[in-house]
Amino acid sequence: MMEDHGGNYARYRKSAMFMLPLPRAFCSLARLPFRILFKKDRPERPREVTVTFILYALILALLSLPFVLLSWPPGLGWTEWPYSTWPFV
């Protein structure tokens, strides 16, 4: 897109949200790991996209770890889901 549309596309990228219309403060915080790693705002090459996907997958896995270790929420353990909610079991 940058090759085809140049400055118009660059201006659009700065004004548009990435995927979801979230508050700007949240978007800035979400982009922080990528900015620290690559020193720019958005991935431009396939390698950067792959590394970004792996980075955010690891972050989400680490954020979910306390829930798994603490078996939260109570009453619906991770080992029971989804079997305890299936109507035909």
Confidence of residue 2 (pLDDT cuts 50, 70, 90): confident
pTM: 0.54
Q: Name the residue among 19, 23, 49 with its Cα closest to residue 34.
A: 49
DSSP per-residue letters across the chain: -HHHHTHHHHHHHHHS-SSS---HHHHHHHHHHHHHHHSSSS--SHHHHHHHHHHHHHHHHHHHHHHHHTTPSTTS-TTTTTGGG-TT-
* First vs last C-alpha separation in the chain: 51
Confidence of residue 58 (pLDDT cuts 50, 70, 90): very high
Torsion angles phi and psi, residue 51, rounded to 5: -65, -40
Task: Please tell me the predicted confidence (pLDDT) of residue 43.
Answer: 84
Q: Is the pLDDT of residue 54 over 90?
A: yes
Tens digits of residue pLDDT in 11-30: 888 787 666 777 878 878 88
